[in-house]
Amino acid sequence: MRTTDATPVSTVTTGPIEGSSKRYEAVTGAEHLRYPVRRVHLSNGEHFDLYDTSGPYTDADAEIDVEAGLKRARDEWNRPEPIDGAATQLVWARAGIVTDEIAYVAAREGLEPEFVREEVAAGRAVIPANHRHPESEPMIIGKAFAVKVNANIGNSAVTSSVEEEVEKMVWAARWGADTLMDLSTGRNIHETREWILRNAPIPVGTVPIYQALEKVNGDPAKLTWEIYRDTVIEQAEQGVDYMTVHAGVLLRYVPLTAKRVTGIVSRGGSIMAAWCLAHHTESFLYTHFVELCEIFRKYDITFSLGDGLRPGSIADANDEAQFAELRTLGELTKIAKSHGVQVMIEGPGHVPMHKIAENVRLEEELCEEAPFYTLGPLATDIAPAYDHITSAIGASIIAQAGTAMLCYVTPKEHLGLPNRDDVKIGVITYKIAAHSADLAKQHPRAQERDDALSRARFEFRWNDQFALSLDPDTAREYHDETLPAEPAKTAHFCSMCGPKFCSMRISADVREYAAKNGLDSVDAIEAGMAEKSEEFARMGSSVYLPVRAI
Amino acid sequence: MRTTDATPVSTVTTGPIEGSSKRYEAVTGAEHLRYPVRRVHLSNGEHFDLYDTSGPYTDADAEIDVEAGLKRARDEWNRPEPIDGAATQLVWARAGIVTDEIAYVAAREGLEPEFVREEVAAGRAVIPANHRHPESEPMIIGKAFAVKVNANIGNSAVTSSVEEEVEKMVWAARWGADTLMDLSTGRNIHETREWILRNAPIPVGTVPIYQALEKVNGDPAKLTWEIYRDTVIEQAEQGVDYMTVHAGVLLRYVPLTAKRVTGIVSRGGSIMAAWCLAHHTESFLYTHFVELCEIFRKYDITFSLGDGLRPGSIADANDEAQFAELRTLGELTKIAKSHGVQVMIEGPGHVPMHKIAENVRLEEELCEEAPFYTLGPLATDIAPAYDHITSAIGASIIAQAGTAMLCYVTPKEHLGLPNRDDVKIGVITYKIAAHSADLAKQHPRAQERDDALSRARFEFRWNDQFALSLDPDTAREYHDETLPAEPAKTAHFCSMCGPKFCSMRISADVREYAAKNGLDSVDAIEAGMAEKSEEFARMGSSVYLPVRAI
């Protein structure tokens, strides 16, 4: 498997996330399948189960051998026969088949398999699962499901190594990345990807044009369909689950970017623009698109139709170039689906808040509601070093409007490549955006976690608050900066107000008082309170008032 | 002035922000007034002027003496006579007077003084400027103006010192805080506030009930109107510009919070709730509200009507308790305005995205469009240690909907008190939210900064990109992590793609090509491109293709 001279990966992060343990639950109706759950153990004896993306790395008895790769579990799953040459979740779902992958993602999402099958059959959701990536734990991307998060990693000619990239993948999955894109552009592209795929419990995406460009020594004009096709097949054989293809960058769209403030900012888009101009020929990705479909349908690779002309600044948002390309992506969506290939659509970029909804509306109209997969968008250009935040604002809004997966942005966006810490910050920030959108969409299970954490907060169960949070380690660390002592973890106060006065405790007292006196509406209060006032004053003196309650 | 035994403040941060210099521009029509501007000097010889909140601390020749305090510049400004006992911007604006403060803020905002006067007269905007805080540089809060950011600081019984708090104030203003709230609850409340006010170039707000509570040794039941009133007068004399008053927490609303997940989370709200229940009497803040107005109108203190029953969790958002209080704040707004007192309204808290707009709609309806001043809101509860981000999402959306000022949230929210680094992260994060909203509201000058920065980015003017950003120091630091050498600051590539391939450069080439050939629309392209293809191929070989262009 590994013909590489790259240094072997020595260690990756393993072990459970604080306050929780990893479990595997049987899939109802398909008991040979077991899906992962992270169980948070609460101090009141209850527990709270969370969707888990982290793979076997967080198992209590994890025995990870990155040289050998993860267990190829999906090799043992049932796989239906191809239909008219296509072996994809799309054609099977259309044929009414509930595949093992569908049963598995339904269990993970807490939904009925038949509902999942319908969404996949309609092309409103995709399950990126290359048959040659049997190490992956299938997941689903679609607006009817929890919003997903993608993490980009990858070395460049300037920086980073294979080991770093594999650890970044494990680390991203640990903190909640649902998929991973390997965007390497430097040396050892093939080997880096091989290490990542064999150890990735989450689907892996790539942009094959990057590797194709390496093969022609970085000169876009020298690219050919044949070089590109061979690169796609090479990556397909390795198990890449979805591929970004910038087939919507047509020759006639390129000059539409000339008057932009920031021109073409997509690497893939600019490679294809340079190629089209150099040859004055239509993009080979567009003219050979059906041949690509024929490759993708064999492996069940999902198209991620790239937005090569996405805006790179607020000034360029929603312009003619961007939407011209989106219309072409709509055409290509129909072609891909007619060949049985799963499709999602990539989106911007940089968009001010008031122009975000239009992107989703148009995408759904033009692309038959194929899952939208956006990069942010950044709601302003003026905060390099904080673009995880500028983009989380846009990401939350676009996800609320219907985007199915968000590509994270790290604090290093526009400035450098993310290191391991940046990857974690990017993932957590995007889990916030995705979850905020799930809440706003009133996704059935979303608010349960907020309520569990808020109850823990209200009841001063500090350890439970940490364990239920997206990043228990950092929450604990920040708390301990001011109140490090272990008794403070159960103290009925915190460092914000100090022990003498605490609003949370006062309102706990209010609750107890109201419950005892049946005061739960304005009417009840007006009727009942007068007679209770003396009693309250007594209770208040001995129980409620904070100074004395310590 | 200082009767304190607190340790004197030794040093605060001074000097210009990287890449810029401080200037003072004369106010047109009121040349005795000069307002501050931060001028960013660009490498192409141009400059870009920014709104400046930092005070004299960023002057090139800053001679700061924190013992003496800042110059009392506003003591020399014109001040109209009181009208019916009120000496406020509101009554003067209603009388058609363009005060010096109005002329000054109009110049800062780049708007006509008459427009500013109308907004203040209508109560849609406030200028918090206590006559006894002559060190402050007036600013305006209203939905027709740039969205403002407040930073909270303050010690508690558990942590932090006077010196730290003064430096936090200077530091917050340096990074863009428009106002500051001193929320100290521990020792030396009076002295801390005195040091802050005498050195604050921005308006300062407080929550007087905190200090009143200290005077009764932390027992809410022992509070009286007289103790509270004397505290308000003490703070008014010191120069506090606006005060949070939780006068909407009525006795009959308190039990409405009993079934909440997180009860009452506002400190002021819970103090008043405890008082109301203990005495079974209506809140003295409500029953003595007119007397408060009579104090406020003399100093021109602005009411910040507190949302003592704001939701502290997603579960409690937009509930009966919250909106009952808001209706009472609407009543109080009318009373305050009838006494000539400026008013703004505080808002939540924790609200999922789909429930945010309703808060603004109701506030505007009930409170006659008095400026809305919200704390976030946090769009989810599940990310302690990242609540600057969860709340920036909500803050951006609520500001787009019409909120005039955003109270920042730092990474330490719910966990501890913010240190100096947290203050900066909180301020920058909220500048992002405020600016994103300005863009979405299509505020006249907002996009100019995005465009200037994006042009710098596109043209590889790295130093200009840093200088135009909200945090030049961190942007530079992140860039330098991977490409520290000085030549990289002008290199036509960055560490993301490396020198061999750069999408930004390719699109610069596209632009040059299109300009030369008049290709700026689909029609022009189809007509003109065919004949130009040979020419482009020639140019491409020698100029455009990135490998050779190095």
Question: What pLDDT, on a 0 to 100 scale, did the predictor assign at position A163?
Answer: 79
| Residues, chain A | 550
Residues of chain A neighbouring B530 (CB-CB closer than 8 A): 280
pLDDT band at B525 (very low <50, low <70, confident <90, very high): low
List of chain A residues whose C-beta atoms are within 8 Å of the C-beta of residue B312? 454, 458
Count of beta carbons in the 10 Å neighbourhood of residue A531: 10
Residue B7 scores a pLDDT above 50: no
CA distance B222 to chain A (A): 10
Top mean pLDDT of A536-540, B260-264, B324-328 is at B324-328
- Cβ atoms within 10 Å of A85's Cβ, excluding its own: 11
pLDDT of the residue at B150: 98
pLDDT band per the 50, 70, 90 thresholds, residue B379: very high
Of B219, B384, B469, the CB nearest to A382: B469
Cβ of residue A538 closer than 8 Å to a chain B Cβ? no
DSSP structure class, residue A83: B
Any known ligand binding at B367? Answer: no
pLDDT above 90 covers a percentage of chain A that reads: 78
- According to DSSP, residue A52 is labeled -
Strand residues in B226-292 grouped as ranges (E) = 242-245
Does the annotation flag B276 for ligand binding?
Answer: no
Q: Give the DSSP letter of residue A542.
A: I
Output the average pLDDT for chain B: 89
Q: What is the rounded CA–CA span in Å between residue A13 and residue B261?
A: 36
pLDDT at B523: 54
What residues form DSSP beta bridges with A125? A142
Q: Would the CB atoms of B386 and A547 count as touching at under 8 Å?
A: no
Look at residue B387 in the predicted model and tell me its pLDDT. 98
What tens digit of pLDDT does each residue of A356-388 get? 999 999 999 999 999 999 999 999 999 999 999
Say if residue B121's pLDDT is above 90: yes
With 60 as the cut, is the pLDDT of residue B34 above it?
Answer: yes
Q: Does B494 touch chain A (CB under 8 A)?
A: yes
| More reliable by pLDDT, B160 or B19 | B19
Please give, rounded to a whole number of angstroms, the shortest distance from the CA of B85 to a CA of chain A.
Answer: 37
- Both tokens of residue B335? 């009373």
Assign B312 a pLDDT band (cuts: 50, 70, 90).
very high
CA–CA separation, B510 vs B100, rounded Å?
51
Contacts of B271 in chain A (CB under 8 A): 501, 503, 506
Per-residue model confidence (pLDDT) at position B499? 53
What is the predicted pLDDT for the residue at B543? 25
Residues 84-123 of A with CB under 8 A from B: none
- Nearest CB partner across the interface for A454, out of B315, B507, B532: B315
Tokens linked to B262? 């997180």
Q: What is the pLDDT of residue B385?
A: 98
d(CA B80, CA B77): 10
| pLDDT for position A498 | 54
Is B54:B475 a contact under the CB 8 Å cutoff?
A: no
Structure-model confidence comparison of residues A546 and A390, the more confident one: A390
**Alpha helix stretches (DSSP H) within B367-502:** 387-400, 420-440, 446-458, 462-468, 472-482
Residue scoring higher pLDDT (B359 or A519): B359
Does A293 carry a binding-site annotation? no
Which of the pair, A418 or A490, is modelled with greater confidence?
Answer: A418
Could you tell me the residue ranges of all domains in chain B? 121-444, 447-539
How many other CB atoms sit within 10 Å of the CB of residue B526?
Answer: 12
DSSP A540: I
What pLDDT shows up at residue A547?
Answer: 24
Q: Tell whether B463 is in a known binding site.
A: no
Tokens of A271: 């490679």
A495 contacts in chain B (CB < 8 Å)? 156, 158-159, 416-417
Task: Please indicate if the annotation marks B542 as binding a ligand.
Answer: no
Residue A502 — very low, low, confident or very high, per pLDDT cuts 50/70/90?
Answer: low
pLDDT in tens, A426-462: 999 999 999 999 999 999 899 999 999 999 999 989 9
Q: Is the pLDDT of residue A244 over 50?
A: yes
CA distance B163 to B146: 31
Burial class (CB in 10 A: 0-12, 13-18, 19+), B225: middle
Residue A104 is assigned to a ligand binding site: no
Least confident span in A145-154, B218-227, B233-242, B499-508: B499-508
Supply the pLDDT for residue B62: 83
Interface check A527 vs B, CB under 8 A: no
% of chain B beyond a pLDDT of 90: 78
Alpha-carbon gap, residue A309 to A325, rounded angstroms: 7
Interchain CB distance below 8 Å, A158 and B521: no
Question: In this predicted structure, which of A126-140, B20-34, B103-117, B158-172 has the lowest mean pLDDT?
Answer: B158-172
ipTM over 0.85: yes
Residue A382 and residue B447: Cβ atoms within 8 Å?
no
**pLDDT at residue B321, as a whole number:** 97
Binned at pLDDT 50, 70 and 90, residue A6 comes out as very low
The minimal CB distance from A262 to the residues B431, B458, B519 is found for B458
> SS3 of B384, please?
coil
Among the ranges given (A32-36, B15-19, B416-420), the one the predictor scored with the smallest mean pLDDT: B416-420
Q: pLDDT tens digits, residue range A167-200?
A: 999 999 999 999 999 998 777 889 999 999 999 9
Query: How would DSSP label each residue in A275-344?
Result: HHHHHTS--HHHHTHHHHHHHHHHHTPEEEE--TT--SSGGGTT-HHHHHHHHHHHHHHHHHHHTT--EE
Nearest Cβ partner of B499 from A157, A389, A435?
Answer: A157
Strand partners, A126: A141
> Above 80 in pLDDT, residue B195?
yes
A120 has a pLDDT exceeding 50: yes
User: Measured between CA atoms, how close is A517 to chain B, in angstroms?
Assistant: 10
What residue spans of B280-386 are helical by DSSP H?
284-287, 289-299, 320-338, 356-366
Give the pLDDT mean for B331-358: 98
* A217 has a chain B CB within 8 A of its CB: yes
Residue B534: band (very low, low, confident or very high) from pLDDT cuts 50, 70, 90: very low
pLDDT on residue B531: 46
How does DSSP assign A141-202, residue by residue? EETTSPPEEEEEE---SSS--HHHHHHHHHHHHHTT-SEEEE---SS-HHHHHHHHHHT-SS
Q: Confidence band (pLDDT; 50, 70, 90) for A519?
A: low
Q: Are B335 and B289 a contacting pair, CB within 8 Å?
A: yes
CA A293 centroid distance within chain: 25
What length does chain B have? 550
Strand B20-27 and strand B179-182: the pairing is: unpaired
Average pLDDT of span B16-29: 96
Is the minimum CB–CB distance between B221 and chain A shorter than 8 Å? yes
Report which of residues A436 and B532 the model is more confident about: A436
Give chain A's mean pLDDT: 89
Ligand-binding site membership of B268 (annotated): yes
Least confident of A138-142, B99-103, B272-276: B272-276
Q: Which CATH architecture has domain B121-444?
A: Alpha-Beta Barrel (3.20)
Calpha distance B337→B331 (Å, rounded): 10
Which helix (DSSP H) or strand (DSSP E) does residue B372 occupy? Answer: strand B372-375
8 Å CB contact between A290 and A339? yes
Least confident span in A293-302, B2-11, B107-116: B2-11
pLDDT range class, residue A530, cuts 50, 70, 90: very low
Closest residue of A to B410, CA-based?
A478
What pLDDT, on the 0 to 100 scale, is given for residue A164?
82
Q: Are strands B343-347 and B302-305 parallel, antiparallel or unpaired?
A: parallel
